[in-house]
Structures are given as C-alpha cells and as structure tokens.
Structure 1
Amino acid sequence: MSNQPLMEVELYAFSSSNAQFFLTPHEFDVDLDGTPYTSLSIERNELALGAEAAKSALELKLPPSCDLVRHLLAASLTGDTTSVTLRIGRRDTWGDYWWLSGTRWMGRVLGVEIDADAARIRCESAQVSLKRIGLRRLYSRKCSHVLYSSACGASPITGSAFVLDVYGRNVELDRGVPGSVSGGLAGGWLQTPDGARHMIISDYGSGVELLYPVSIEPGAEVLLTVGCDHSTATCQSRFDNLDNYGGFPAIPSKNPFSTGVF
C-alpha cells in the first residue's frame, strides 16, 4: 500500500445571507489560504461528463446532526437561499500547501430530507437556473409563498412557553401550548434561546411534535411561531392576508385535452 499523501481533494462551500460552511469529504481538514475546510462524512452522486457536466444535479448524503443540515432546515422556513460550490484542491508537491485547481460544479440548494441515519441535500445547477424560461414561481392551487417572507407579507403570530421535558421529537411545555397559537403550529417552528429553529409537525395541547429529535434543557423559554397549510381558508381566517395569496385555487379540475373537448 502506498504511503504517498493525497494530492487532490474535493472542497464544498455553502453560503447564504447569514452563514457559510466550508467542508471536505476527506478524513482530514484542509486549510486553503486561511480558510479551513472541515472534514465531514459526505457522499455525492456521480456527475455527468462533457457538455452535460455543468447542468447535472448534485445530490449529497451527510450526517443529519451536522450544523449545515440544521441551517438548511431553518432556511427552508424563512425562504433563505443557500448556494453551493464544489471545487478541487491540489497539494503542492514540495510541501503541505493547498491551492485551488478549478471548480467542478456550482448551483443552489433546493431542499433537504432527513431520515433516521442520514440527511439528503438536493441541489440544482446554476446553469439550469439561468436558462429556465419564464417566471420562477410555481403554478399551483395552493400558495407557493414562503410563510412570513416579503412576498407573503403576513405578520408572524407567536407565543412563548417554558419547556417541561423532551422525549425525542416531542417537547412537553409547562402549562401547555399557549392559547394564542394553539391548533395552528403545524408548519411553524419552535425557536430556542440560542436562535435555533426547529420545524413543528403538530401541537397537541400539552406540547408539540418536531420534525426531528432535539435536545433542549427543561426550563428553557422557547418561542412558538404559527404555521400555515397554504390554503385560502387559512390565509383568510388566520392571517387576514388573502390579498397576497400566491396560489390559484380556481384552476379547473378537468383536463380539456383528456375529455374530448378539443
């Protein structure tokens, strides 16, 4: 077996409006001109070769508990976009100096999915985004706006509570869910004192169920923010914000091309 040092590494740079993450899938950290790329277990799909390489999608698999995944989950609630760049670093043959030899792929994060043992991040190439024709918004019955974004325009509805205990994904609250947000927390989030946001799946009177397990100290004060199911009924009754509704509920349910009209 050769004891020669690895001469080429992959370097991932994730960047949003309020955070940056520099990672490498190798078993050692890489310092590139003062920027440390932290070692993290990352797997990716095979990228296309030739003319299609820049347009191919990038899919990553990494630990679900890492800071990047937590950031992406929080960003999905606020609509913040995260860009990702895959570069190649090369080691100087005369020492331990690393330098960039090129960029293999760049684009943006589309979404993140979490299961018991891994998180999967889906990314879209920048070339695909730039060449997409027409409007970027989805044509759907339900509203496509990110809740509380500038396009949505709704005012956040919140309530504070103290944590009684945590059981995996379930957070029990002292005195239960506040009445001001009770019954409407699905799709919203729980924010801890350090600013971390965790998506809420449902609330059940004495507490809330989160998307993934968390560790919160009993007695901590948390902020609960109401969610939305993106329907016209909820937009009107909960937020009085129907003027900004971004869906198209009157789309015909019958396809004229399949009914013999044409």
Structure 2
Amino acid sequence: MSHQPLMEVELYAFASSSAQFYLTPHEFDVDLDGNLYKSLALERNELALGAEAAKSALDLKLPPNCDLVRHLLANSPTGDTTSITLRIGRRDSWGDYWWISGTRWMGRVLGVEVADDVARVRCESAQVSLKRIGLRRLYSRKCSHVLYSAACGASPISGSAIVAQVYGRDVEFQDGIPGSVSGGLAGGWLQTPEGARYMIVSEGWSSVELLYPAAIEPGVLVSLTVGCDHSTATCQSRFNNLDNYGGFPAIPSKNPFSTGVF
C-alpha cells in the first residue's frame, strides 16, 4: 500500500545576533531556499484560528539537550533577543521540492525553562510587543538591567565544584561551595558541561537550591556563577559597578497624591 507524501509542513526559523536555527517538527529534514530545516521532536500549543493566530502566545516543547536550547540558555544573561518565525512550506505537486506558502506566526523568545526531560520555550507575538506604549525599561528603585548584559557591564564571577548528590532541586557538592562565589550565588546559576543552566534560588554551606529539579550525575564538574539582588550595595561591594547601576534609589517614598504636598 503506497502512502501519499506529506504536502504541507511547519518550518521554524530562530535568529539572534550570534546564531540561526532552522527546525521542523516532522520526521524528515526540509531543504528550502538554501536552508536546511532539521527534523526535531518539537511540539507547540494550539494557536487561534484566522487573524487572531498572529496575536497568540507560542509555547514550545523541545528536547533539553538540543543546540537551540543550549544557545538560549547561554545567551539569557546577555539580553540578546532571539526572534522566531513560523512559516508553512508546501511540496510542489509536480516535483520533489518545497516552497514557502505563507507565514503563520512571528515574534520573539521570552524565556526558556529546562526540566529533566523537556525544555519549554515561551514566545511573544510581534504584534503584542509592538502595541506596547512607551519605553520598556522600568522606573524602579532597584536596577532593571539583566545581570552581565551589555547594559549591566559587570564581569561574571564564577567558580567550579564537583557534584556529590542531587535531591530534586537541591545539589550538594563534594568539597562545599568555592570561596570565590560563596555567599553570592542566589540569583545566579549552575551550568553543566553540556551548557544547560539552572537558576540558583538559595545556597547553604555545601549545597545550592535550584529553581527547577536537575538531572545531574554525581562526580560531574559544574560551574557556579554569582547572582545579584539588584541593590546599590551589592552592585558596589560585589561587582564595583555602581557607575552602570540602572535603578533609581532616590525616588521619593512619599506619595503627594495620598499625603499632600505639604
């Protein structure tokens, strides 16, 4: 019994300032316009029908060890934006080649979360972000810069440790936490040799608590990078970077609309 070849496919293009990725959720690669869309076990949420589809948020599920996830994790501290375009490709009925029949969704990656067996990538529609009024930067007492980004300008502080045991979100180290990063890991991250990053919520004498559980084998050498609470005290004492501080600590605490001017 012969099977009719698939005539329509979904094509995902991811692009940042340092890399590009072309993926398709189907069981075969698609070569189109000089780009090879590689087959990957990729799932997405249901999009609205018609014009509303372009405004919907896009949530993707991917293997946690794929190149795209590693790139997103490695670039999350820098603030480098990754755009995403979902196009529809069609197979020519008279030959074995593909062509773009339309664009279904465009936007940017908001963030990535990694669990034991799946990575979740959250994306925002370009139509939603373009309709925002005013500046995107927040006017707040604490610094709004992404830590170690170009706007922040601080130099990363890191150390290495060997994993002894992993209990869900808690990771214990053989020789404790290195002195170079001790006391400052909350808000930072743990990075495995494969490039996967896990945000650190808190630290103890010889262990750290992660935001999500991590599947890390004992004996693995991991990197621990210092975090920041975005206060002026930490910016000065830990990074000596107060010149680049992005907060406004001198905002008056008295509200004239509720207490009166005088």
How would you bin the TM-score normalised by the shorter chain? 0.7 to 0.9
1:71 to 1:212, Cα distance in 2 relative to 1, 3 A: farther
The one-letter code matched in structure 1 to 2:76 is: S
1:233 to 1:30, Cα distance in 2 relative to 1, 3 A: same
Q: Which residue in 2 is equivalent to 1:37? A: 38
Q: Structure 2: how far apart are the matches of 1:70 and 1:254?
A: 46
> What SS is found at the alignment partner of 2:238?
helix
Q: Structure 2: how far apart are the matches of 1:200 and 1:162?
A: 16
TM-score normalised by structure 2 residue count? 0.81
User: Which moves more between the two structures, 88-97 or 60-69?
Assistant: 60-69
> C-alpha offsets along residues 194-248 of structure 1, whole Å, 9 cap, x if unaligned?
4443322222111222333334443333221100111223222322222211122
> What SS is found at the alignment partner of 2:72?
helix
- Which runs of no fewer than 5 residues in structure 1 stay unpaired? none
Tell me the CA shift for residue 109 of structure 1. Answer: 1.1
> What SS is found at the alignment partner of 1:76?
helix
* Structure 1 moving runs of 4+ over 4 Å: 113-120, 127-134, 252-257
TM-score normalised by structure 1 residue count? 0.81
1:1-262 superposed matches below 5 A:
4-26=4-26, 28-33=27-32, 35-47=36-48, 49-50=50-51, 54=54, 56-63=55-62, 65=64, 67=66, 68-113=68-113, 120-129=120-129, 132=132, 134-253=134-253, 256-257=256-257, 259=258, 261=260
> What SS is found at the alignment partner of 2:84?
strand
> C-alpha offsets along residues 61-96 of structure 1, whole Å, 9 cap, x if unaligned?
414635344443333223221110111111121344
- Which runs of no fewer than 5 residues in structure 2 stay unpaired? none
Tell me the CA shift for residue 164 of structure 1. Answer: 2.4
The one-letter code matched in structure 1 to 2:142 is: K
1:168 to 1:53, Cα distance in 2 relative to 1, 3 A: closer
Percent of aligned pairs with the same amino acid: 71
Equivalent pairs, count: 257
The one-letter code matched in structure 2 to 1:158 is: S
Q: Structure 2: how far apart are the matches of 1:207 and 1:136?
A: 36
Q: Structure 1: how far apart are the matches of 2:58 and 2:260?
A: 42
